[in-house]
Amino acid sequence: MKKNVSRKQFLQQMALLSGGAAWGMGSISGKAYAQVPASMASMVAGAEQGKALVIIQLSGGNDGLNTVIPAEDDQYFVKRPDIGIKKDAALPLKNGMYLNPAMTGIKKLYDQGKVSVLQNIGYANPDRSHFRATDIWNTGSDAKTVWDEGWAGRYLSIKYPQYPMNLPKHPMAIQLGSVESLLFQSDLGRFGTVFEDPNLFYQLVNGSTADSDLPPATLAGEELGFLKQIATTSIQYSKVIQECAAKGKINLTYPSTNLARQLQIVSKLISGGIETPIFLTTIGGFDTHANQLTQHANLWKTISEAVAAFQSDLENMNLADSVSVVTFSEFGRRVNQNGTLGTDHGTAAPMFVIGKTVRGGLIGENPNLKILDANGDLKYNYDYRQVYSTIIRDHLGVDAVKTQQIFNQAFERLPIYQNSPDQLPEFTSLELVTSVPNPVIDFALIQYSVFEKMQIKLAVYDLQGQEIQQIYQGNREPGSYQITADLARISAGFYIISLSGPNGQRQSRRMIKQ
């Protein structure tokens, strides 16, 4: 996904950048856009206005099975005799799934239809290294591809095509913290403005200097160019952030946790009129290899309380329609507990999308604790980029073509938002494509695909589910197949052609016999 911006172009952009801002000792810039009316600045910023996404990153690998708990599944207690959470203690959702007892705030929002719980989110050939897995989630790549740009960085480069020639009036992305995430990085530069406190940030930047000299075209010159770019954006944005924070309202008391403080700043900035579309907040401590029960519950208590406060704050200010919260973690954890009352690195896990515009409810099948991969880890049902693609399209309002550009691939959306498409795509390890002709007189050509090696059965059933004629049964390697079936002997009427696998996978198509 490298954008081939040559070094020369980059330097030209740097020059423009420095020309537009007032660089120098002790000065705060903002001149470039200070005279531009807000409506024009909006035009510069792009068409989709007013929506904001707040990402909560759970660092360390969240144990999904103790977050959204299959507390009616005996396998869960077989594999977690000491750290399994019983259903009497947990908060019921539906379909035999329960929330961790510490998540009362999120449960309340769930009951109001404001939480979409997405089950078994992951990707193929999952990585179990914290660092590589975090990079995968941040860049939006598959396991085998290494990208050096964040998916949000690519989204922002579409939203702000002038960057870095021109800096929009408001920060393009805000991260509460100190070390900028890969999420906001791109080949064009860094989209994120990173700070912990709006006032302190303003105070510190006051006195930073940057000049308009072009850095020399050397390796060291590239590093200097990078430093200058950071200096310039800091100078540009510290003032608008401080102003929005000053204008923002404080409506309720947040819990006194670090995450709640981060979300409170986000809320304050949004209510103060900031136009930033993406915010990143972080909570760490999820790498629960040992004695995890209390620690894990406390982490979710923190998140649950912080999110509940944030949501009610936004609702009080009538801003809830434009803001959506999503959680992610680099991986879930092993199904089996380990010998130290914790869990080791695993794979698929649930994600939460929270807000007033979501459909709410539990999306996707429950985790299958019997059919695990070779490491004893969960298989994923939906790719994490399906979640991100849905958010980008249905919440941030980006069209299908641009969304596809971001991930270099189209992903089927999930029914997360009220305006998301209805159909829940099935977990496809097989697919029955067509049978032609339909209606059929004698011979039907049936096409189907198998995505993993398995034993399959293809047969014709009547509408009562009685098997009328078997067409094929046997092992199939992954691939697409076609078979011609002689259906001359069956009587006229309505039938179902069905392709099934060994674990209940099934796809069916209607067929009419003349």
Partner 1 sequence: MSHLLSRSLFGFSKSDLTMALGYSTFADFLDKTLLKDSALPAAPNTWVTAVPAQSQQDDGSAGRWYTEMTSWWYSRMVNEGLNMREKMVLFFHNHFANERSKVVYPQNMYVQNQLFRKYAFGNFKQLVKDVSKDPAMLIYLDGNNSRGAGPNENYARELMELFTMGIGNYTETDIKQSAKVLSGYQVSGLTATFVASRWYTEATVTVFGKTAKFDINTLIDHIFDQKATAQFICRKLYQEFVYYKPDEVFVTKMAEVFRANNFEMKPLLKFLFTSDEFYKTEIIGSKIKSPTELLVGSAKLLQVKTPDLNNFYELARTLQMQLFQPPNVAGWPGQREWISSTTYSYRGGFTDSLLTGKRYNGVAVTSKLDPIPFARTFTTSEKANEFVDEIVGLALRFPLSDTRRKFLLDTLLDGTIVANYNTFTANTDARVNKFLKALMRLPEYQLC
Binding positions for partner 1, rule: CB under 8 A: 25, 59-60, 127-132, 175, 178-180, 192-196, 201, 203-205, 207-211, 213, 216, 218-220, 222-224, 226-228, 230-231, 233-234, 237-238, 289-290, 338-340, 342, 344-345, 374-375
- Euclidean distance between CA atoms 391 and 277, whole angstroms: 12
Give SS3 for 473: strand
Q: How far apart are CA 228 and CA 221, in angstroms?
A: 10
96 Rama class: left (phi>0) / alpha (psi -120 to 50) / beta: left
Q: In the complex with partner 1, which residue's Cβ is closer, 8 or 489?
A: 8
> Given the complex with partner 1, which of 30 and 501 has the nearer CB atom?
30
CB of 153 to partner 1, least distance (A): 14
Q: 169 or 476: whose CB is closer to partner 1?
A: 169
Whether the CB-CB separation of 63 and 288 falls below 8 Å is answered with: yes
Shortest Cβ 194–partner 1 spacing (Å): 4
CB-wise, 261 or 289, nearer to partner 1?
289
Closer CB to partner 1, 77 or 226, in the complex: 226
CA distances to 27, 163, 241, 308, 420 from 245, in Å:
21, 24, 6, 21, 33
C-beta of 196: minimal distance to partner 1 in Å?
6
For partner 1, which is the closer residue by CB, 73 or 287? 287
Q: Please say which residue, 146 or 410, places its beta carbon nearer to partner 1.
A: 146
Interhelix angle 400-407/151-159, rounded to 10 degrees, is 140
CB of 251 to partner 1, least distance (A): 27
Q: Are strands 98-99 and 68-69 parallel, antiparallel or unpaired?
A: antiparallel
Minimum distance between the CB of residue 216 and partner 1, rounded to whole angstroms?
A: 7
Smallest separation, CB 289 to partner 1 (Å): 5
Angle between helices 104-111 and 292-316 (to 10 degrees): 50
User: Which CB sits closer to partner 1, 107 or 228?
Assistant: 228
Q: What is the dihedral of CA 308, 312, 318, 324, to 10 degrees?
A: 0
Give least dist CB 212 to partner 1, A. 9
Q: How far is the CB of 176 from partner 1 (least distance, A)?
A: 10
Q: What is the DSSP string of 196-254?
A: S-HHHHHHHHTT-----PPPPSSHHHHHHHHHHHHHHHHHHHHHHHHHHHHHS---SPP
DSSP 44-111: HH-S--S-EEEEEEETT---GGGTEE-TT-HHHHHH-TTT---TTTSEE-STT-EE-TT-HHHHHHHH
